[in-house]
Structure 1
């Protein structure tokens, strides 16, 4: 069966380990047909010979999605447990150990999420909404992010900035330590540096940057609080959401332990890392659900 742009495929040479969306089909040197692929659940960009593609039928795709949804639901439950503990602690502090009944309100950190993949961005925005995180989402090609980030920060004034999309390490382009061997790590690092020109302080603007197999060290050196990928492994499309949601709902008087923030992600410490960072949640009172009309 012929493979077309938009189809879901796997790769025979990798024993069908991951699902990909076909983004483009082109002819390269020697008239070899090559497919450009985006990971369906991981932030990986790859290319593959046309003959290496295996079209995934609807039943197989649905079964894989069912398993994927179970994993996501488990991670979501763990996050909700953490959030409930934070809320209970805040309620105890705000009410003087439950000595008064004054209602309070909470202001979580605002997120600006810039994503190179519109499909992933849509998935992330849906999860932010489910978690209750205030967010602005912007789709941008990874190469254009450094030019756009300054204006976007001015427009949305976020507390947290997410810079992500697709990336990949290519052994044929250089050593793992060389930035030139990565598809978009250089653009992510440039975007982080431009953001830090706007907001230098690590606790005034918390930054997550990177995608699958990204050059972790260069992103941290550029000024990111959290980044991927320390062991150059693939990261899940939704991992940035879980990281920034944890920061968004942690009180600003507390610091988020790096291990504590990574343990409920779908990838873990091999794919994600960072530095100690202050929370961004602020609690206030009194709370008014409505106001008298005069």
Structure 2
């Protein structure tokens, strides 16, 4: 069976547990190596051509339906959290609903840099569904650090997402060795450059990382939230749930880390962070005439 670019494949050595897209096929010394990107997980991988099999339509549909079901469940729980946050804010603004006051709310603005254009589209769709103002930029992971300074000056975000693809390789070093990761070093450099522009952790909230990323180095670089504490895969939409919760939390409130992680698809094995303030601001009056 011939395998071509953009085919959906599985790795036989892993029992085809994850759907991958074929991004590139390279030939060295007569051997074919295939570059793969996870279809639903932010994982990049290399695989021998002979280890791959094109997934049949039935299995693709089954895995897709399972993933969509988890996404819908996560979204419902997240939506409940956001609604409670907004109801609480409305209660406080109207002094326990005792006074009728017109007001408006300004959720935190997000700048989302993504190394995968398909994932970026999925994330932007979810941001829009939730109601988070966002600027999405597709950017190769290796180029993010050189571009982030200008992007921050242009868009002046409250929240920054630095994500794409990553992977840990045992053959390249121990889990503590940053050189054993595909893009963790690039994510870390991007965070450091962002912190040169906005040093304060509560003036620019940063999420950084992808599947199996070097969590500790990203936090040390200046990220508020990052992946992956247990070096596991994270879902493509996990960054959206984290930063959306921050976007809708009032700036006078501290965010409990577990409250942010609990409704993600990956949980605390794949995501972690530090205590952070929200960025939602409420103003008044709201003039409906304009």
Give the TM-score, by structure 2 length.
Answer: 0.98
Corresponding residue number in structure 1 for 2:9: 9
Distance 1:232 1:67 in 2: 22
Q: Pick closer, same or farther for the CA change 1:78–1:26 going to 2, 3 Å.
A: same
Distance 1:92 1:169 in 2: 47
Corresponding residue number in structure 1 for 2:130: 131
Q: What is the CA-CA distance between 1:28 and the residue it aligns to?
A: 2.1
Tell me if 1:272 matches 2:271. yes
Cα offsets for 1:70-126 (capped at 9, x unmatched): 111110100111111111111110101111111221100000000000010111000
Distance 2:229 2:190 in 1: 19
Distance 2:285 2:14 in 1: 58
Distance 1:17 1:228 in 2: 21
Kindly report which structure 2 residues correspond to 1:14-33, keeping only aligned pairs within 5 A, or say none.
14-29=14-29, 31-33=30-32
Q: What is the CA-CA distance between 1:132 and the residue it aligns to?
A: 0.5
Distance 1:132 1:58 in 2: 34
Corresponding residue number in structure 1 for 2:179: 180
Distance 2:85 2:71 in 1: 21
Q: What is the CA-CA distance between 1:171 and the residue it aligns to?
A: 0.9
Q: What is the CA-CA distance between 1:176 and the residue it aligns to?
A: 0.8
Q: What is the CA-CA distance between 1:57 and the residue it aligns to?
A: 2.0
- Helix, strand or coil: the match of 2:279? coil
Distance 1:55 1:201 in 2: 48
Distance 1:287 1:228 in 2: 39
Distance 2:122 2:265 in 1: 15
Corresponding residue number in structure 2 for 1:165: 164
Kindly report which structure 2 residues correspond to 1:211-250, keeping only aligned pairs within 5 A, or say none.
211-250=210-249
Q: What is the CA-CA distance between 1:193 and the residue it aligns to?
A: 0.3
Tell me if 1:289 matches 2:284. no
Cα offsets for 1:102-159 (capped at 9, x unmatched): 1221100000000000010111000100110000000111000000000000000000
Corresponding residue number in structure 1 for 2:36: 37
- Helix, strand or coil: the match of 2:85? helix
Kindly report which structure 2 residues correspond to 1:67-216, keeping only aligned pairs within 5 A, or say none.
67-216=66-215
Distance 2:28 2:81 in 1: 50
After the TM superposition, which segments of 4 or more aligned residues of structure 1 sit over 4 Å from their partners? Answer: none
Unaligned runs of 5+ in 1: none
Aligned residue pair count: 290
Q: What is the CA-CA distance between 1:67 and the residue it aligns to?
A: 1.6
Distance 1:64 1:246 in 2: 27
Distance 1:191 1:202 in 2: 15
Distance 2:14 2:288 in 1: 55
Distance 2:72 2:289 in 1: 34
Distance 2:231 2:272 in 1: 11
Unaligned runs of 5+ in 2: none
- Helix, strand or coil: the match of 1:269? helix
Q: What is the CA-CA distance between 1:212 and the residue it aligns to?
A: 0.5
Cα offsets for 1:5-49 (capped at 9, x unmatched): 0000011000011000000011123x1111100000110000111
Q: What is the CA-CA distance between 1:59 and the residue it aligns to?
A: 2.9
